Chain A
Amino acid sequence: MSPPPAASRAFEGEFDEALVTTAAEERVSVATQWQLMWWRFRKHRLAVFSSIVIAVFYLVAIFADFLAYADPHKTEAFRSLIAPQPIHFFDEGRFSPHVFALIGKRDPRTFKRVYEPDPEQKIALRFFAQGYEYKFLGLFPTNLHLIGVDGGNAEELIFLLGTDQLGRDLWSRLMIACRLSLTIGLAGVTLSLVLGVLLGGISGLYGGAIDTLIQRVIEILRSIPTIPLWMGLAAAMPRDWGVVQVYFAITVILSLIGWTDLARVVRGRFLALREEDFVLAAELAGVGQMRIILRHMAPSFLSHIIAATTLALPNMIISETALSFLGLGLRPPAVSWGVLLQDAQNIQTVAISPWLLSAALPVIIVILAFNFLGDGLRDAADPYG
Chain B
Amino acid sequence: MNSAPILTVDNLKTYFFTDEGTVKAVDGASFAVQAGKTVGIVGESGCGKSVTALSILRIIQRPGRIIDGEILLRRVDGAGKSSEVDLARLDPEGGEIRAIRGGEIALVFQEPMTSFSPHYTIGNQIIETIQLHQDISKAEARNRSIELLRMVGIPRPERRIDEYPFELSGGLRQRVMIAMALSCNPRILIADEPTTALDVTTQAQILDLLREIQERTRMSVIIITHDMGVIAEMADDVIVMYLGRVVESGPVDEIFHQPKHPYTQALLRSIPSIFAEPRSKLPTIAGSIPHPHNRPSGCPFHPRCNERMAGLCDVYAPRLLPIGERQMASCFLYHEPEEAPQA
Contacts and interface: CB of A to CB of B under 8 A. Distances in A.
A and B touch in the complex (CB under 8 A): yes
A19 B291 contact: yes
Interface string B277-293: 00000000011101100
Contacts of A19: 288, 290-291, 294
Contacts of A17: 286-288
A21 interface: yes
A275 interface: no
A16 B294 contact: no
Interface string A18-57: 0101100100000000000000000100000000000000
Interface in B8-22: 19
Nearest to B289: A19
A16 B287 contact: yes
A25 B287 CA distance: 18
Interface residues of A, number: 7
Contacts of B294: 19, 21-22, 25
A376 to B, nearest CB: 15
Contacts of B287: 16-17
B270 to A, nearest CB: 14
Contacts of A43: 19
A16 B304 CA distance: 11
B288 A16 contact: yes
A379 to B, nearest CB: 12
Nearest to A21: B294
Contacts of B19: 43
A25 B19 CA distance: 15
Interface string B288-319: 10110010000000000000000000000000
Interface in A307-359: none
A277 to B, nearest CB: 20
Most chain B beta carbons < 10 A, residue from A19, A21, A22, A43: A19
B46 to A, nearest CB: 12
Interface string A201-213: 0000000000000
Contacts of A16: 287-288
A26 B291 CA distance: 14
Interface in A1-20: 16-17, 19
A171 to B, nearest CB: 43
Contacts of B288: 16-17, 19
A22 B288 CA distance: 17
A19 B294 CA distance: 9
Interface of A: 16-17, 19, 21-22, 25, 43
10 contacts: A16-B287, A17-B287, A17-B288, A19-B288, A19-B290, A19-B291, A19-B294, A21-B294, A25-B294, A43-B19
Given A19-B291, A19-B294, A21-B294, 10 more contacts: A16-B287, A16-B288, A17-B286, A17-B287, A17-B288, A19-B288, A19-B290, A22-B294, A25-B294, A43-B19
